[in-house]
Amino acid sequence: MNQLIECVPNFSEGNDLALIKQITDEIESVEGVRLLNVDPGKATNRTVVTMVGSPEAVVEAAFRAIKKAGELIDMSQHKGEHPRMGATDVCPLIPIANISMEETAVFAQQLAKRVGEYLHLPVYLYEAAQPNKERSNLSVIRAGEYEGFAKKILLPEWKPDFGPAVFDSKRGATVIGARDFLVAYNINLNTTSTRRANAVAFDIREAGRVKKVNGKTALDDKGNPIQIPGSLKCVKAIGWFIEEYGIAQISINLTNINVTPVHIAFDEACKKATERGMRVTGSELVGLIPLKALTDAGKYFLQKQQRSEGVSEKELIKIAVKSMGLDELSPFNPAERIIEYMLDNQPKKKLIDLSLSDFADETASESPAPGGGSIAAYVGSLGVSLATMVANLSSHKVGWDDRWEEFSHWAEKGQQIKDQLLKLVDEDTQAFNQIMAAFGLPKSNDEEKAIRTSAIQAATKNAIDIPLGVMSIAFESMQVIKAMAEIGNPNSVSDAGVGALCARAAVLGAFMNVRINAADYQDKAYIASILQKGQEIEADAIQLEKEILAIVDQKIGSLWLV
């Protein structure tokens, strides 16, 4: 499987967009690398760039970008709110797929060595790439910043890992390393005071603040300053004033969002700001964020409202954005800020992105796809969507407040099944297209015939397995539908009934596609087992539909007796 790493170099220029483009052009000149995001900041005078690709390609792109930044940026003229020490201030590599942190660290070391030796630039390793843990912390390496580096670099303990131990007044120095995914996140305050923003930052960051006694630093038995830890783990934070916005912010690095998620950092900052007489007005992300971080945030804020979490991915993201004010300073476009969305190189899914009328028109056209398999999957998605609607309505029903979590659970399950079935709408059509492509392969000699036959059989098996998956998932949806018929809002019981009809149609329709495609598959033992499994699911679905409709009929009938 392909290895993927992310690279997030930070360049000390945030105002000259033409200059920044010259740097990013170097990145885009490397095949195998995709530039995901360019996020310039005027007040910080800093641009955060996000790229992803194969390790070798990313290392090459990073080298070219560092070289170009050193040619274009003059650190002796640089001023900005963010701590910095070089034209390319920091350049982390992050493992994304099929690569370990240890392997990523080796690539970071290779990049650092090349930059130091070929560009004659002082380079420091950090985080996982730095074997000396006493100098692996970025903030420790960068302490004193550019202005203090002329003296710092001469100290024996601060000799660069690569490159000359000579202060470069134009380019400064660069820090290269390997780390986990980091979320850079700024929280907006209704104050212009950097000191007060720092107070909140010290309250929440893991390092906390130095203990003071009568205005003096308190020391432990060994003469070291005593630290009062902050309230959040894996959080680095400082306060600053952003002239561009006219407000102070808490600038946060979340180094492990599994330990401290974005929404927890936001809520804790709100709490500490309130305690100090301030108010959080919103927040902003710098660079990209994983999808799960926002969907988890959406669920968190719904849970606080005691509302069902079983809503669509799009709705969860919207709730997260509004709850944390991620759009206060500028529009927040999920397609440009969520890493999974940016990594999706596939064209838009042809069918499920169509309008209802366009989907119907496409189905009615002379094209053989979408056919019965895709329609079965879509009908199944509609059936479980109805049950999910009943769950969400029930979770908000007046007088049922103590049951919202129960219905939220069912709604979440329904959403998951719906998403699976929608995915299968396109997969079934793609399976048909693969069969047609296999039949179109050349067959002029025995070798070509063998390759063609093998391709046809592989495509046929896929065209059997996908509708079989539709059957299984649609049948699973009937458990949600039955639960909503039994315990859901009685005023919506007819919706559960229609959902059952859809689910049964999905199961039976998908099985027709299994059977017709199975006729052309040569492995008869496999076909026998598949048909037996399909018959069992079909029989179970028909029986379960009868049970659900009996419940629905009984409840509707009782309404007439009132």
DSSP-derived 3-state class of residue 277: coil
Q: Are residues 422 and 446 in the same domain?
A: yes
**Active-site annotation holder among 39, 82, 89, 263:** 82
Tell me what pLDDT residue 349 has: 63
pLDDT digits (tens, 9 = 90+) for 93-121: 999 878 999 999 999 999 999 999 999 99
Tell me what pLDDT residue 387 has: 96
Q: Residue 10 pLDDT > 90, yes or no?
A: yes
Q: Residue 284 falls within a domain, yes or no?
A: yes
Q: Are residues 174 and 191 in the same domain?
A: no
**Per-residue pLDDT averaged across 35-61, rounded?**
93
Rounded Cα distance between 261 and 232, Å, is 10
**Active-site annotation holder among 168, 203, 426, 428:** 428
Least confident of 39-43, 217-221, 445-449, 466-470: 217-221
409 is catalytic: no
Pairing of strands 174-178, 88-97: parallel
Q: Are residues 201 and 81 in the same domain?
A: no
Q: Residue 421 pLDDT > 80, yes or no?
A: yes
Cβ neighbors of 242 (< 8 A, separation 6 or more) are: 43, 44, 81, 248, 249
Tell me what pLDDT residue 301 has: 97
Kindly tell me the burial class for residue 445, based on how many C-beta atoms sit within 10 Å of its own C-beta (0-12, 13-18, 19 or more): exposed
Last residue of a domain, one of 302, 320, 343: 343
Angle at 440 between CA 438 and CA 444, to 5 degrees: 105
Q: Residue 423 pLDDT > 80, yes or no?
A: yes
Q: Residue 404 falls within a domain, yes or no?
A: yes
Q: Residue 100 falls within a domain, yes or no?
A: yes
82 is catalytic: yes
| pLDDT top residue among 451 and 223 | 451
**Per-residue pLDDT averaged across 131-155, rounded?**
91
Q: Residue 348 falls within a domain, yes or no?
A: no
Q: Are residues 174 and 188 in the same domain?
A: no
Tell me what pLDDT residue 529 has: 94
Q: Residue 121 falls within a domain, yes or no?
A: yes
Q: Residue 234 pLDDT > 90, yes or no?
A: yes
Rounded Cα distance between 503 and 377, Å, is 9
Residue 70: pLDDT band with limits 50, 70, 90: very high
Name the one residue in this structure whose structure tokens are 């960068």.
142
Q: Are residues 15 and 158 in the same domain?
A: yes
CATH of the domain at 201: 3.30.70.670
DSSP-derived 3-state class of residue 354: coil
CATH of the domain at 542: 1.20.120.680
Bond into 370 cis (ω within 30): yes
Amino acid identity, position 509: G
- Any bridge partners for residue 282, and if so which? 188
Residue 346: pLDDT band with limits 50, 70, 90: low
- Any bridge partners for residue 284, and if so which? 186
Domain count, the chain: 3
Q: Are residues 244 and 335 in the same domain?
A: yes
Q: Residue 259 pLDDT > 90, yes or no?
A: yes
> What is the residue range of 480's domain?
356-561
pLDDT digits (tens, 9 = 90+) for 525-562: 999 999 999 999 999 999 999 999 999 999 998 877 65
Rounded Cα distance between 339 and 6, Å, is 10
Rounded Cα distance between 495 and 409, Å, is 19
Q: Are residues 198 and 149 in the same domain?
A: no
Q: Residue 73 falls within a domain, yes or no?
A: yes
Kindly tell me the burial class for residue 367, based on how many C-beta atoms sit within 10 Å of its own C-beta (0-12, 13-18, 19 or more): exposed
User: What does DSSP assign to residue 401?
Assistant: G
Name the one residue in this structure whose structure tokens are 């040619």.
71
Whether the CB-CB separation of 500 and 383 falls below 8 Å is answered with yes
Structure tokens at 509: 């329709």
Q: Are residues 399 and 524 in the same domain?
A: yes
Amino acid identity, position 369: A
Cβ neighbors of 305 (< 8 A, separation 6 or more) are: none
Q: CA quadruple 26, 28, 31, 33: dihedral positive or negative?
A: positive
Q: Are residues 330 and 222 in the same domain?
A: yes
Kindly tell me the burial class for residue 488, based on how many C-beta atoms sit within 10 Å of its own C-beta (0-12, 13-18, 19 or more): buried
Q: CA quadruple 197, 203, 209, 214: dihedral positive or negative?
A: positive
Q: Are residues 224 and 140 in the same domain?
A: no
Rounded Cα distance between 301 and 320, Å, is 7
Q: Residue 3 pLDDT > 90, yes or no?
A: no
**Per-residue pLDDT averaged across 166-192, rounded?**
94
Last residue of a domain, one of 295, 320, 343: 343
% residues pLDDT > 70 (the chain): 99
CATH of the domain at 44: 3.30.990.10
Tell me what pLDDT residue 31 has: 92
% residues pLDDT > 90 (the chain): 78
Q: Residue 345 pLDDT > 70, yes or no?
A: no
DSSP-derived 3-state class of residue 161: coil
Rounded Cα distance between 302 and 389, Å, is 16
Question: Distances in Å between the alpha carbon of 126 and those of 99, 129, 185, 528?
Answer: 19, 6, 21, 58
Last residue of a domain, one of 162, 178, 194: 178
Structure tokens at 128: 């996982």
Q: Residue 351 falls within a domain, yes or no?
A: no
Rounded Cα distance between 3 and 96, Å, is 8
Whether the CB-CB separation of 65 and 25 falls below 8 Å is answered with no
User: What does DSSP assign to residue 366?
Assistant: S
Whether the CB-CB separation of 463 and 439 falls below 8 Å is answered with no
Q: Residue 402 pLDDT > 90, yes or no?
A: no
Pairing of strands 46-53, 33-41: antiparallel
Tell me what pLDDT residue 506 has: 97
Q: Residue 525 falls within a domain, yes or no?
A: yes
Q: Are residues 387 and 324 in the same domain?
A: no
Q: Are residues 74 and 31 in the same domain?
A: yes
Angle at 176 between CA 170 and CA 182, to 5 degrees: 120
**Per-residue pLDDT averaged across 289-298, rounded?**
92
Residue 398: pLDDT band with limits 50, 70, 90: confident
Whether the CB-CB separation of 154 and 133 falls below 8 Å is answered with no
| pLDDT top residue among 68 and 343 | 68
